[in-house]
Amino acid sequence: MVDVGYGPKPTNAILVAGNPLIQILKIQTADDCYPGRLVKKGTNDDDVVVNTQNGAAIGWLGYEQTIKKHRPSTVDTVYSANAQAAVLHGEHFIIVATLQTGQTITKGALLKAGATGTVEAATIGTHDVIAVAEESVTTTTSVADIMVRSRL
């Protein structure tokens, strides 16, 4: 494994470096609400749902910032509906996000919102850039973790 300058990736945590702003919001629908996924506003201002491709993301689902009563058992477990989850936002922090399938990303690549709260390659002037890759990762048929610098 190559040393990318940050990390190593944390174990059962998603924040690698930095100090994000944190809101505690309610998981409206649990579908694909894994820690590190992008979320958007739900029905009410205090609700979040997993973000959609090119959706208006408001932040990243936290993990270790959420109180234990509401957090899933691991970062690979989905949040429960109605859980009070930490949502991280702001710039200049590094988080372990989820890279969409079928992607070849190099360190420094610009990323946009992908389906089900994931990230994928972005094009300047075409997409809203929400993150910058902090490591090179390739996916084929399954998603993978990727360290990214938030630009939300």
Peptide bond into 72 cis (omega under 30): no
Give pLDDT, residue 146. 97
Mean pLDDT within 46-62: 95
- Residue ranges of E strands in 4-141: 15-17, 21-27, 38-41, 47-50, 59-61, 84-89, 91-99, 104-105, 110-113, 119-121, 131-133, 137-138
3-state helix, strand, coil in the chain (%, to 5): 0, 40, 60
pTM above 0.85, yes or no: yes
pLDDT at 144 over 70: yes
Give pLDDT, residue 4. 58
